[in-house]
Each structure stands twice: as structure tokens, then as C-alpha cells.
A and B are shown apart, each in its own frame.
Chain A
Amino acid sequence: MSDMEMSAGAGGHAGVMEESPFAIPSGKLAMWCFVLSDAVTFSAVLFAYGYLRVGSADWSTPFQFVPSVLNGLVMTFVLLTSGLTMLAAVEAAKAGRTAAGTRWLWATCALGALFAGMHLMEWRHMIEEGWRMFQNPLGGSVHFGAAFFSITGLHLLHVLGGVVALAVIALGFPSGKYNRIDVEITGIYWHFVDLVWMFVFPLVYLMNAK
């Protein structure tokens, strides 16, 4: 059953229709559009960060290799691996291997949760050191904290949303409540979250390494 046929049942639009110029089901198209919009949102926040950083005379670069950058590298590795498991889940779902697909979905979900957990622990470490959105314990620009917590916080919100979505899909996939298109749509979102991190990590962590 083709992608279009599979999703044609949803919403009852089963008549003969003109071909979409993108030839993908509406749900996938909508997710791509959402991803585009969200990318612009993250770009706006990163623009604000860049603007303030360039305008700050006393920007701090507090991240030591151990623990901060190393932690960030491990988090990056975790998220990239979750991207691989997501690919495996989509492949398995496409091939009709539901049980395998579900396992890969849970693996992705677990890795995402691990990422979130590591992130929260890192936040706790920074807060203990005196970092706040409005406070810089090193005496430099307060925008470091503001940028750090708002950018990583926005990303973390997206990760958590993705973890919840993955769990919901993983719970419904075996019974057929969700089909392989839904797995693919979740995959698009998850890869986007990964992609955003690949911008956030260099711009926020590596550029602020000691």
C-alpha cells in the first residue's frame, strides 16, 4: 500500500484528487512545514544570542573541557545515536516488521530521555555554580546565562515533546493505532530536533569553551 493510499483514509478524503506537487501524505507535508517554521523560531533565538554576544564587551567563556564540553560531546553522541535508532525504526516500520520497529522506537525514546536527563543534570551543575538567566558568577555579561538557558531550554522542551510523542507512537504502533506513516512523521520531527542540537552545540558550547 503506497504512502498516499495509506493516509487517504484519514479524514475521509477518499475521492479522486489532483496529485499534490509534493506527492507525500498531508501529515508528512504538515510536519515538514512545522519543521520549517520551528527552524525559523530557533534561528530567531540564535540571532538574538549572536546579536547580544557581538555587542557584549565582557562575554564569558566558562566551559572547561572537563566536565562541560565533554558532557556536551556525550550528549551529542547520545542524540546522534538516537537519530540512528530512529532511522532503524522507520526502516523496520516500512518493511512491516512491527515488533522490531516498536523496539527501535522505544530505544529512541530512551536515548532522548537520557539526553534530557543529562541536560537537566548539567543545568543543575551550572545553577549550583551560580549561573542564572540574569546572573553571571564570573562577573561577565549576564547575557551568557540568558542565552544559554533560553536556547538550551527551548531545545530541551522540544526534546521532551519528542520523547512523549515517541512513547505515544510506540504504544500505539503494535496495535495498528498508528501506522508507518506516523512513525515516519515522528522521525522527521526527531531528526529536526537533532539537527537543531547540531547548531546549538557548536554555537553555545564550543564557542564558549575556555
Chain B
Amino acid sequence: MSEAAAHPPVHHHTAPTGFIRKYVFSVDHKVIGLQYYGLALLAVFIGMVLSWLMRLHLGWASLPIPGLEKLSPAGAPGNVMTPEYYLSLMTMHGTIMVFFVLTTAPFAGFGNYFLPIQVGAADMAFPRMNMMSFWVTFAAFLVLMAAFFVPGGPPLSGWTAYAPLSAVGQEAGPGQGMGQTLWAVSIAIFCVGQLLGSLNFIATTLDLRTKGMSLARLPFSTWAWFITSVIGLLAFAVLLPACILLFLDRVAGTSFFIPSGLVVSDRMMPHNGGSPLLWQHLFWFFGHPEVYIAILPAIGIISHILPAFLRKPLLGPRVLISCIAGIGFLSYMVWGHHMFVSGMNPFSALLFSVPTLVITIPATIATLLWIGSVYGSRLRFTTASLFCLGFISVFITGGISGFFLAQPSIDTYLHATYFVVAHFHFVMAVAAIFGMFAGTYFWMPKMIGRMMNETLGKIHFWLTFVGVYCIFMPMHYLGLAGNIRRYAAFTDDYLVPLIPTHQFITIAALATGAAQLIFFYNLVWTRFRGPKAADNPWEATSLEWSTTSPPPFDNFGGRQMVVHHDAYLYGVEGAAADYVMQTSPEAVKSPS
């Protein structure tokens, strides 16, 4: 059967013309995906620089850092940062990384680019709303960046912005004036952008699947993006009013989060009767699903990439999807595990600890499915597959520390120590980023039509993999030794002996950061010197590999794609090649 007959043409979109329409205000989901990815790259660079500044200060507290005084004369007199400015840099580091990197790249970036293609659609369900959601997110980013340059500088209340510190206004400290207000406004705008994006993802996944693409045949990455957008729809819906109420406390004189009789900087605050705990409830009801929003797309991405290099399907694909969905569902029931020591009734700690431990079950099942799938396979070692294996490793490491923190008795000791910092950096900063890297090395040939340099990629992987363990593994021991987090310097007797460990971590962090230059260089090299990529360089099966690299503006060149199989028919017996594409009409005994 000829290509043309197998894929009858649908009516054409008209391609956009002009630079602005093609690359700036584009409604093409591929351009928008790359715009999100580019925003995330910019944000991760800024976030990393902030982390280096923090780490330098932690290792060598009186070290002058050239140029810092230019950025903030008040925050870094003589180029040595004040403790308050350390907290400001830390706040911006967390906020930028969680929102503008981890929620943006794996979800909005790759999701926007590949979800429509993987379901066989010509674009998202609402292309103009898609464009709006990117520019709204970009506006949120600009508002946040503005906090660096206003009087007082950026806020210092942490990405968690706990009240009453975040709610009272500028007497609470430098950055707590305009800086904190800009933070609240920026995050509120961000919520709107995410909401619009989620609507698009959900409608596209449910309504725009091409003929033959049943829900059961969707790739894991699409499932993960879909489930993530459902979680996001409900989670960001809570953060938005929380930020609005915070904003009102700051500018309208309300006392939602500010208790009576609060004295700040020798001044009695005029507020009364509010509850700082209310902020924690609202924030963490969003905040916990948010961290799953950060990790689930990465889980979907590596689950999607791994079979292509194992040359066999994953074990238990339906189970894996149920696990992803189960994690998403349970994520709404555990928010109180961030509040074990907040002063709530200790019985509530039990109520939150149980679902937190339950949520480890689907995560563990997923991990065992990956490991079981790798066992006995003839893995093709590429940078993408290495990052998948690296993801599994760091996901396990980060997950295990979660088992400890889930128990209130242990958490009473470990809360707000570096043990927690190690936990969330492993699962978020490392695992989710590894998912991003895997996705980049896998999908870059498709996105820009050129192969990335594998040698540079493998060097990047190994340096990064060793580097992140050097950075974050010692933090577990620091935490157990009692090292409190969010301290700018360590002067107490029991902390001073830990400073050499901090110095080691700093050196590891700077070296690992430098290793990322290899990645950036590879990106640039690929763009200009990379060898042309074929349509299907990895011999993979899902719909994105049934079109050109890069895809035409309507994804499939006007063809109607027809799907006959699920996405992971690798190593099939009796097939012509060792893989069967989703669009191949070849009759193969397949579970779906």
C-alpha cells in the first residue's frame, strides 16, 4: 500500500510568513515548545549562577566575590554578601529553578513540542491560547527578575515564602518590600500561564488523537504530560488565590497570614488575628503536587526513551501508567508532611505520614519495572540512554531519603537540615534535570534536524553524574550531623567542623557547573555543525519518528497518520526489522 493511500491528505494549514509570526508570536506548538525550552535554559543558567554564589559563601563566608557589590551595594558591601543577601539569592535560586526550569522545560517545553506530534495532531487544540500561555509565563519571568533591581532587592523568605515574614512588608528585612510583592505578582501570573497550558494539553490529548491512536497506545511521555496537566490544573488553582491573599496582606492591610501582637524590628504590626499556618496549608496543598509536576514528565520521558535503546518494550506498561496516575492522585493527600514540625496536632502527622509512605509504592514499582526491563537487555549506550540510567540511579537515591523524611519521628530531627536539601535536590534538581537531558539528546535531532555530538554528550554525562553525587551525597551526612539549612554561615561549635565538607561540595558544584559548559557548547555545535539527522536516527517507533527532522509546520506534511500499534514494539519476532513503527500496517501480535 503506497504512502499516499495509507495516509490520505487532510486540508492544509497555511504556513506563517515573516520573522515575528514565525519565531516570536508564533502559534506553532513546536516554536512555542522551543521558546519554553529556551526560557528554561536562560533560567537554569541564572539559577546555577545563584547557586555558585551561595556555595562560595557557604564554603568561605568572608570571601569577596568580584562584581557582587555592583549587583547590590546594600546586599554585598565590599563584595562580601550579607546573611540577608545570601537568603535573597537562595530565595531567587529556588523560585527560578522550581518554577521556571522544572515546571517549564520537561512539561511546557518538551510537552508542547511533542504531545501533538505523539498523538498525531497537526497542532494543539488551542494554538493561540498556547502562544498566550508562553508569553504570560515569560511576563512572569520578567516580573520576577525585576526583583533583583528594585530597592531592597529580592525577597529573602525562601521559595516557600512563609508568613508572617513574607506578609508583613519591608520592616521584616531587605527585599521584603517591593521584592516580595513582585515575587507574589510574578507567581500569580505564572499560575495563569500554567492553567492555560494545562487546558491545552488536556483537550489535545483527549480530542486530537489521530485515527487508531487509542488512549492505550499513547506513549508514556504523552500519558505523563496529560496526567501532569491534570495535576497542574488543580494545584495552580490553589497557589493563585494564596498569592492573591499574600498580596492583599502586603498592600491592602489585611491580616490573612499575620497574627496579632507581632513585633517586627521593634514595631508592633497593626495586623491581627491571621494565621501563618494558613499560608503553609495553602502553599503546600499546591507545593506538594508541584514537585510531582516537576518529576512526572521526566518519568514519562525516560520511560519513553529507554525502550528505544533496550530494543525491547518495558515490563508492565499498563502498570507503569497506573503508577504515574496513582502518584498524581496521591500527591494531593500528603501536603502536611512539609508541616510535621509546624505545631499542628501531632495526630495529623500520622494522617499525612501514611499516604506519604503509600506514595512510595507506585514510585518503587515504576523503578523496579525500569530495572527489570534493563536486566537481560542489549542496551545501546548513547548519551540519551545513559541519562535514563542515571535518572534511575538518582531517583532511587533521592527517593530513599524520602522514606526517612516521611516518618514524623525521624523528620522531627531532620526537618530543615541539609538532609532535606539532599533529598529534594536529588529528586528535583538532579533526576528531573536528567530527564531533561535525556529528552534533549534524544529529541534534538528531531527538533533541529541535526545530530548532537555523542562524544561530548558522554563526557557531559559522566562528569555530571559523578559531580552531582559529589555535591549532594555529602549533604545527607551534613543533615544527620545537625547542619541546619538556610544558614548563611556556620559559626556554632558543632557546625564549624562541617565547613570543610561544605568546601568540598562547593568545589564539586563549581566543577559540575563547568561541565555543563560542555552541554551548552554541544548545543551550539549541533546547531551549526551537527551532521544532518535522518527522520528516524534511533530506529524508534512513536509518531514523532514518522515525520521529517525537523517536522514540517503542520507536523506530518498534510498526511493523515493512521496508527496500528502501541509505541514500544521493539525486538518483535517475525517482524521485518527489529522494530515496528506505530504507523506501520504490518500485522504483528501486539497486546493492544
Residues of A within 8 A of B (CB): 11-18, 20-22, 25-27, 29-30, 33-34, 36-38, 40-42, 44-45, 47-48, 51-52, 55-56, 132-135, 141-143, 146, 150, 154
Interface residue from B198, B212, B275 paired with A33 (Cβ < 8 Å): B198
Size of B's binding interface in residues, CB under 8 A: 54
List 20 extra interface pairs beyond A15-B560, A37-B233, CB under 8 A. Answer: A11-B123, A12-B554, A13-B122, A15-B210, A17-B211, A18-B214, A20-B206, A22-B207, A30-B203, A40-B238, A42-B241, A44-B282, A48-B256, A48-B282, A51-B281, A52-B274, A52-B275, A133-B252, A143-B255, A146-B256
Interface residue from B200, B212, B255, B256 paired with A18 (Cβ < 8 Å): B212
Question: CA A163 – CA B272 in complex, angstroms?
Answer: 37
Question: CA A142 – CA B249 in complex, angstroms?
Answer: 12
Residues of B within 8 A of A21 (CB): 206, 215
Known contacts A13-B208, A18-B213, A22-B206: A134-B199 contact under CB 8 Å? no
Q: Is B524 an interface residue (CB 8 A)?
A: no
Q: A192 CB to closest chain B CB, in angstroms? A: 13
Q: Is B240 an interface residue (CB 8 A)?
A: yes
Q: A114 CB to closest chain B CB, in angstroms? A: 27
Residues of B within 8 A of A34 (CB): 195, 199
Q: A143–B274 contact, CB under 8 A?
A: yes
Interface residue from A26, A29, A45, A56 paired with B241 (Cβ < 8 Å): A45
Interface residue from B123, B278, B560 paired with A52 (Cβ < 8 Å): B278
Q: A36 CB to closest chain B CB, in angstroms? A: 7
Known contacts A18-B214, A52-B273: A133-B254 contact under CB 8 Å? yes
Q: Is B45 an interface residue (CB 8 A)?
A: no
Q: A44–B241 contact, CB under 8 A?
A: yes
Residues of A within 8 A of B278 (CB): 48, 51-52
Q: B125–A30 contact, CB under 8 A?
A: yes
Residues of A within 8 A of B271 (CB): 134, 142
Q: B253–A133 contact, CB under 8 A?
A: yes
Residues of B within 8 A of A14 (CB): 10-11
Residues of B within 8 A of A25 (CB): 207
Closest 10 CB pairs of A and B: A134-B253, A15-B10, A40-B237, A146-B254, A18-B209, A26-B203, A37-B237, A26-B125, A20-B207, A15-B560
Question: CA A25 – CA B204 in complex, angstroms?
Answer: 11
Residues of A within 8 A of B200 (CB): 30
Residues of B within 8 A of A33 (CB): 198-199, 202-203, 233
Q: Is B248 an interface residue (CB 8 A)?
A: yes
Q: Is B245 an interface residue (CB 8 A)?
A: yes
Q: A75 CB to closest chain B CB, in angstroms? A: 23
Q: Is B126 an interface residue (CB 8 A)?
A: yes
Considering the complex, give the chain B residue whose CB is closest to the CB of A141.
B273
Residues of B within 8 A of A134 (CB): 252-255, 270-271
Contact with A along B271-294 (1 / 0, CB 8 A): 111110010011001000000000
A-B contact pairs, 9 of them (CB 8 A): A14-B10, A36-B233, A44-B242, A45-B245, A52-B274, A134-B252, A142-B272, A142-B273, A143-B256
- Within B76-129, the residues touching A (CB, 8 Å) are 121-123, 125-127
Q: B237–A44 contact, CB under 8 A?
A: yes
Considering the complex, give the chain A residue whose CB is closest to the CB of B128.
A11
